[in-house]
Amino acid sequence: MDNRLYSPWRLRYVLSKKSEECIFCIKPKAENDEKHLILHRSKHSFVIMNTFPYNNGHLMVVPNRHLAVLSALNKQELSDLFELVQLTEKILNIVYSPDGINIGINLGRAAGAGIDQHLHVHLVPRWNGDVNFLSSLSGTRVIPESFERAYRRLKEEFDKAEEEK
Residue positions annotated with a catalytic role? 120
Closest CA to 121 of 88, 156, 155, 72: 88
Beta bridge partners of residue 102, listed in sequence order = 124
Would you give the end-to-end CA distance of the chain in angstroms? Answer: 52
Dihedral over alpha carbons 47, 151, 115, 136 (to 10 degrees): 130
Residue type, 39: L
Dihedral over alpha carbons 47, 53, 57, 63 (to 10 degrees): -10
